[in-house]
């Protein structure tokens, strides 16, 4: 599987940040807890500035999520994002990301969308929303006809199920916000984010 910059990052923190001034402290808290990869979602006006700040942390991979258009890809590339994540499949997003040399993780929910990804030369996709789509049993079913595809579940992933997901040979990584919820970021409670990150890393290696 070609994970690109997501290689060696079994947990991707999904971040919704309202104030870019918190970005460096957030990245440092995640790192201290053992998580060295974050997807900053384009759900706030602070997202791109936060990515630019996080890029200054050594050995920390940061990308942009909730990428919906080719223009979003351009904006992500302009601030130094290493990868982009989309909630669904869009040819224009995938094509532009590849033009920009970015790892792209498009969302899929069906076998047809997996086939679109394969036709585009991708072998790792985001499985979203994982919990609502049936979780691990659905991934297991999709892995039957698509044994060479990696699925990164997002949506409903937690300490309770992340190890089980990661134990599946077709799940190279999981993503979620449970270790860095928006409220804790907004309140500046980075010691708690560090603690939750460490718990997530421990839980991920439990099986």
Q: State the chain's mean pLDDT as an integer.
A: 96
Nearest CA-CA partner of 200 in 140, 141, 159, 142? 159
pLDDT tens string 97-115 = 999 999 999 999 999 999 9
Domain boundaries along the sequence of the chain = 10-204
State the catalytic residue, choosing from 7, 28, 39, 113.
Answer: 39
181, 200 Cβ separation under 8 angstroms: no
108, 125 Cβ separation under 8 angstroms: yes
pLDDT bin (cut points 50, 70, 90) of residue 2 is: confident
As its CATH architecture, domain 10-204 has Alpha-Beta Barrel (3.20)
pLDDT tens string 25-77 = 999 999 999 999 999 999 999 999 999 999 999 999 999 999 999 999 999 99
Tokens read off for 15 = 């971040």
pLDDT at 3 > cutoff 80: no
- Note the pTM of the prediction, 2 decimals: 0.96
Instruction: Give me the half-sphere count of Cα atoms (radius 13 Å) on the Cβ side of residue 102.
Output: 31
Active site residue 126: yes
How big is the chain by its Cα radius of gyration, in Å?
16
pLDDT tens string 4-16 = 778 889 999 999 9
State the catalytic residue, choosing from 82, 113, 126, 164.
Answer: 126
**140 sits in which H/E element:** helix 135-143
Burial 5-42 (b: 16+ CB within 10 A, else e): ebeebbbbbbbbbeebebbeebbbbbbebbbbbbbbbb
């Amino acid at each position: 599987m070609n994970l690109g910059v997501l290689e060696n990052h079994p947990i991707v923190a999904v971040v919704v940040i309202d104030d870019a001034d918190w970005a460096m402290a957030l990245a440092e808290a995640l790192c201290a807890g053992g998580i060295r990869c974050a997807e900053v979602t384009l759900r706030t006006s602070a997202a791109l500035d936060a990515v630019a700040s996080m890029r200054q942390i050594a050995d920390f991979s940061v990308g942009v999520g909730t990428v919906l258009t080719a223009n979003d890809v351009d904006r992500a590339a302009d601030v130094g994002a290493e990868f982009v994540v989309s909630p669904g499949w869009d040819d224009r997003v995938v094509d532009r990301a590849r033009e920009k040399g970015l790892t792209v993780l498009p969302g899929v929910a069906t076998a047809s969308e997996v086939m679109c990804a394969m036709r585009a030369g991708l072998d790792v996709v985001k499985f979203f929303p994982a919990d609502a789509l049936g979780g691990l049993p659905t991934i297991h079913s999709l892995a039957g006809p698509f044994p060479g595809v990696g699925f990164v579940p997002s949506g409903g992933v937690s300490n309770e199920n992340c190890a089980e997901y990661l134990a599946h040979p077709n799940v190279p990584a999981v993503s979620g916000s449970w270790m860095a919820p928006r409220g804790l970021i907004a309140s500046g409670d980075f010691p708690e984010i560090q603690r939750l990150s460490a718990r997530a890393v421990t839980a991920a290696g439990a099986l």
